Amino acid sequence: MIELIQFPWSPYCLVQKRILEFARTRFKTVNIPVNDRSRVWRMTRQRYYQVPVLRDGRNTVFETDDDSQVIAKYLDEKLQLGLFPPRFEGLQTLVWRHVEHEVEGFTFRLNDIHWREVVPKADWLGYVRHKERRFGRGCLAAWAAESDSLLAGLARVLRPYEDMLLAHPFLLDDRPRFVDFNLFGMLANLLYSGHHTLPPALSRLGEWHRRMGNI
């Protein structure tokens, strides 16, 4: 059985989880503590410490750089999902880079505002320390104070995806491709705490999100 090693609120883990659900294959999720990456470190033979990581029998699959899609491509090939058709090569790369940099830059901050409701209490210290070392002291409180502007910024960067849905029910054509799952994972992170909704003005995106949740 496939194992997905994850943090349950991680946007990148939520992408892979939705792909596995879509494939209707048997899998299980394994949640690891935020402050203890030793399991991943051992599994990857000291080559990686982030999530997600996929274990499939003797295969341990993980990303090789910030813009790779090793796990999704592995699942696509293994399960024959049609997520990376040749005619969208290059285009999907441009889109997922925007999703994972521009969109995710807003969604994770908005989710992190409610970090106490998401992160197990035993991991609070390590979580705050990790965030502040990367983004500066007081970043979590600052994002809470800036929530209105973050929501406005998110609506702005999501507008092109609203426009992409004018011609077909999914982002690129009549069936979901990798970028659909990629965007869905970032938005699942936004919605994880239950405090946010999708921008109401983006009605086509809202309909797409419901379709992606049901496929």
Per-residue pLDDT band for 204 (boundaries 50, 70, 90) equals very high
- Its pTM stands at 0.96
Q: What's the topology of domain 86-214?
A: Glutathione S-transferase Yfyf (Class Pi); Chain A, domain 2 (1.20.1050)
**pLDDT per position as a tens digit, 140-176:** 999 999 999 999 999 999 999 999 999 999 999 999 9
| Tokens (6 digits) for 50 | 């982030």
Domain boundaries, the chain: 2-79, 86-214
In the CATH scheme, what is the code of domain 2-79? 3.40.30.10
Mean pLDDT of all residues in 89-108: 97
The two tokens of residue 141 are 């409180």
| Residue type (1 letter), 71 | I
